[in-house]
Structure 1
Amino acid sequence: MTMHQQDTAQKQAIQGVSATEELVPSRYALKVGDIDVLVVSDGVLPLPTSTMSTNVDPAARAAWFKDMYLGPDAFDWALNVLVVRSGEQTLLVDAGLGGQFPGFPRAGLFPKRLEAAGIELSSITDVVITHMHMDHIGGLLVDEVKSRLRPDVKIHVCATEVEFWANPDFSRTVMPSPIPEVLHTTAQQFMEAYHDKLHTFEQEYEVAPGVVVKRTGGHTPGHSVVHVTSGNEKLTFAGDALFPVAFDHPDWQNGFEHDPEEAVRVRVRLMQEAAASGELFVATHLSFPSVGRVAVNGDAFRWVAGSWDY
């Protein structure tokens, strides 16, 4: 049974179930050609609205969030991870926040949501890390995850990213305190826990048939995206290359970007490519299930959310 068939059966079985958790969508299955893809919500975490537009007038930021019925001072940031089955391999793309950080009780949920989907952590053959911010690697530091991963699991991350976090530069970021120190500490813990399982690449690497991870830089020096291609179908997981505000204002810089100008160039290029190809597009911090397409809208872009298939 494919992940799509399995998830459809589970959706049908949910009728009559009263548990609140079961009534809240937390995973979404789709096919990209012959490749199974499952988008899993790791939950949400609250962030200041100011992090979304560090280079614009606060009034413009406030107006955008008001138009989106968000804010005014904080909003919920979605966290999405992927599970991809290609050939004999099962890949986890990013690992969410984990449950070890106080103040984020609604995040770090992907382990139990994988379990609810019938996916054992021991079945994961490869983990792809788009970048080493704590909301992408923190889930791998949870004891219940570490103890259940298979001994031969391979963790793929850009070599530039590994080098950067040995001595990270936060001089161009605008993050709430004490997040920079927590990011650095978490990256160090990740390296200590998984240094013997790391498989680094320089620019791009085919992790499994039709699944290629490719360095973009910008958000972090080694930030990478994942392209899933099968037949004539394609999906890109953009990681943190863009955020909800990016479609209307691709030039608005984010406080978590280590190279803001390069991050703008990266997201514009990715969205231009996605609009030209018509491919499916998923990103970490777009509202779940974050499956849709990108269209050009004058000098900006437009998000075209995919319709639910149920």
Structure 2
Amino acid sequence: MADISLTEKYQVTIVKFGTRSTIKSDVYLNFHIYKEADDALDMDYFFWVIQNQNRTVVVDTGFSRRGGEVRDRTFLIEPAAAVAALGIDAKDAPQVVVTHAHYDHIGNLDLFPNSELIMARAEQDFWFSDFAWRLQFKHSIEPQELSYLKEAADEKRITTFNDTYEVAPGIDVMRVGGHTPGQSIVVVETDEGQVVLASDAIHYYEEYERDLPFIFVNDLREMYEGFDTVRQLMQTTAKHLVTGHDPSTLERFEPVVEGPLAGLAATIGRKEQR
């Protein structure tokens, strides 16, 4: 990522919209091989918004009402209400980055019927293939949401990329694979340093710190390599890591304390640059 001006730096807002309670053996791949006692573990659900005075980019859109209810997930705020609280108007057609096509990341794409959707070509190709309907993969999707993606493709609203893509100066998307064939991370420049939005390349900070792959994995080697890619970024250019589902996430950044998102969001950087 090249040097950019202050006017091309962004504020990242992390929005927590849902939660559930689970256990470690339902989260980490082959947890028994670590020879540790099982333990309770919460999982929070997020989407992310990147903004400055010139641009808004939405990163994933959470799970839909149906997607959450059939899996007994707890809603904390409707993603549509959270989007509105951030002052985002669908009429402005903000770009939407799809890090991967699981139900809890594309459940509300229909909030943005005119937006450009950006996703890895490997992700689109996989979910448009017959493999999407094999049970181990189908478990993580909602059929109507894949149908919506296909409609968007037919409307030529999907921009795909192979390895990396510059959404705008200061915002890059990188395919790392692992969790899904096209699982991507987003790297953002802010006035508080570079931010890595890992999405489900890394669900938990413990997952990253202890090298614990997640239970749902398309390619285990790529998942490990994704950990290494993020580590390299954190050792060189990046200052902040935002994982995909860790309940400690909001505590690590500047909390939103007023309005509809109070207690449900945190920010990194300033939206309006000096």
2:64 aligns to what?
98
TM-score (norm 1): 0.68
TM-score (norm 2): 0.76
CA distance in structure 2 between the partners assigned to 1:76 and 1:279 by the alignment: 25
Counting aligned pairs with the same residue, the percent is 23
Shift of 1:107: 6.0
Change (3 A) 1:249 1:208: same
Shift of 1:183: 1.4
Highest RCO, 1 vs 2 (Cα 8 Å, sep ≥ 6): 2
> Retained in 2: the 8 A contact 1:108–1:139?
no
2:163 aligns to what?
203
CA distance in structure 2 between the partners assigned to 1:258 and 1:191 by the alignment: 20
CA distance in structure 2 between the partners assigned to 1:239 and 1:270 by the alignment: 11
> Retained in 2: the 8 A contact 1:45–1:106?
no
2:92 aligns to what?
123
CA distance in structure 2 between the partners assigned to 1:38 and 1:124 by the alignment: 18
Show CA shifts across 1:215-251 (max 9, x none). Answer: 111111111111112578211101101122314421x
CA distance in structure 1 between the partners assigned to 2:21 and 2:152 by the alignment: 28
Structure 2 letter corresponding to 1:279: K
Show CA shifts across 1:35-70 (max 9, x none). Answer: 12211112213445323222232774535x3xxxxx
Structure 2 letter corresponding to 1:217: G
2:264 aligns to what?
none
1:45 aligns to what?
20
Q: Secondary structure, in 3 states, of the residue corresponding to 2:185?
A: strand
CA distance in structure 1 between the partners assigned to 2:119 and 2:98 by the alignment: 5
CA distance in structure 2 between the partners assigned to 1:100 and 1:87 by the alignment: 34
Change (3 A) 1:83 1:288: farther
After superposition, the CA RMSD in angstroms is: 3.2
> Retained in 2: the 8 A contact 1:97–1:134?
yes
2:108 aligns to what?
139
CA distance in structure 1 between the partners assigned to 2:130 and 2:210 by the alignment: 28
Q: Secondary structure, in 3 states, of the residue corresponding to 1:183?
A: coil
1:174-213 to 2 correspondence within 5 Å?
Answer: 180-181=138-139, 183=141, 185-195=143-153, 196=155, 197-213=157-173
Shift of 1:208: 1.6
> Retained in 1: the 8 A contact 2:126–2:132?
no
Shift of 1:131: 0.6
Q: Which runs of 5+ in 2 are unaligned?
A: 1-5, 258-274
Find the partner of 2:123 among 161, 174, 178: 161
State whether structure 2 residue 10 is matched by structure 1 residue 35: yes
Find the partner of 2:210 among 243, 246, 249: 249
The range that moved more, 194-203 or 182-191, is 182-191
2:227 aligns to what?
267
CA distance in structure 2 between the partners assigned to 1:212 and 1:190 by the alignment: 25
Shift of 1:191: 1.9
Change (3 A) 1:182 1:277: closer
1:219 aligns to what?
179
> Retained in 1: the 8 A contact 2:43–2:245?
yes
Structure 1 letter corresponding to 2:162: E
Shift of 1:127: 0.2
1:301 aligns to what?
none
> Retained in 2: the 8 A contact 1:225–1:237?
yes
